[in-house]
Amino acid sequence: MVRPSVAKLGTNFRCYVDFDVQREKSFLNLETLFGNDHPVSMEIGMGKGLFMQQKALDEPTHNFLGIERVKKFLLFSASRIEQMGLGNVKLFSVEAREFIERFISDREIQNVYILFPDPWPKRRHRNRRLVQKDFLLLLREKLKDSGVVHITTDHKEYHQWICKQIEELEGKSFISLPAHRTEYITNFQRKYEKQGKDIYFTRLQVLRSQ
């Protein structure tokens, strides 16, 4: 496979959605976006996208929506997805929270994957962490009944923080599922496993009284 130079990528990929959050006003119609009504899963902070490339290849009757705020990573991933000929992926270079809140309708998403989110280890930066109680509650609104949030990190303290966020929601908004390794590796996971680091997996299922 040709390794693309990020600077020369361009944006002319079928899977890349040139989306301007300032200009757009309405919720996305996912059936129109993907051209079918297959279930949709979402990966937040997908980086160079190795996880999604493998998953989308193995699950052609499932759609995947990828979010990554760093455009050059997203375009790198888009070029791979294009080379692989995957029609079930759409990628957005946007900030996750605003995009999800304003453009994803309630109860549309089957799974959310947050794999190796930035740990922001300094105490004063913890409010920058993606996994916060209110963010999990936002994801819950967007997930279908019994939808699942999958979170993976190599950072022990962030893992403990994630467990603490979940503790207060558990039994009311989510239930914890037995943790197990995600089916496919991410770029960061590959690096950390080579270094022999421990990896922490978390799975949360939406709890909803009808």
Task: Please state the closest distance from residue 150 (CB atom) to ligand SAM, in A.
Answer: 11
**Residue 38 CA: distances (Å) to CA of 35, 41, 108:** 9, 10, 11
**Residue 184 CA: distances (Å) to CA of 53, 82, 113, 140, 181:** 9, 19, 11, 23, 8
In whole angstroms, what is the distance from residue 184 CA to residue 152 CA? 12
Task: Please state the closest distance from residue 73 (CB atom) to ligand SAM, in A.
Answer: 5
Query: Which of 116, 135, 161, 174 is the binder for ligand SAM (CB under 6 A)?
Result: 116
91 binds ligand SAM (CB under 6 A): no
45 binds ligand SAM (CB under 6 A): yes
Task: Please state the closest distance from residue 115 (CB atom) to ligand SAM, in A.
Answer: 4
- Residue 80: phi and psi, rounded to 5, are -65, -45
Looking at beta carbons, which residue is closest to ligand SAM? Answer: 45
Other Cβ atoms within 10 Å of 151 Cβ, number: 26
Catalytically active residues are 118
Residue 57: burial class (beta carbons within 10 Å; 0-12, 13-18, 19+) = middle
| Binding-residue total with ligand SAM (CB under 6 A) | 20
Query: Which of 13, 34, 64, 73 is the binder for ligand SAM (CB under 6 A)?
Result: 73
Binding positions for ligand SAM, 145-184, rule CB under 6 A: none
Query: Which of 30, 96, 109, 112 is the binder for ligand SAM (CB under 6 A)?
Result: 96
Q: How many CA atoms lie within 13 A of 50 on its CB side?
A: 12
Task: Please state the closest distance from residue 43 (CB atom) to ligand SAM, in A.
Answer: 7
23 contacts 82 by C-beta, under 8 angstroms: no
74 binds ligand SAM (CB under 6 A): no
21 binds ligand SAM (CB under 6 A): no
If you write DSSP's letter for every residue of 161-177 in order, what string do you get?
A: HHHHHHHHHBTTTEEEE
- Please choose, out of 28-36, 92-100, 176-184, 194-202, the segment that lies near ligand SAM by the rule CB under 6 A: 92-100
**Residue 15 CA: distances (Å) to CA of 87, 88, 94, 140:** 7, 8, 14, 26
Q: Which residues bind ligand SAM (CB under 6 A)?
A: 45-47, 67-70, 73, 95-97, 115-118, 130, 186-189
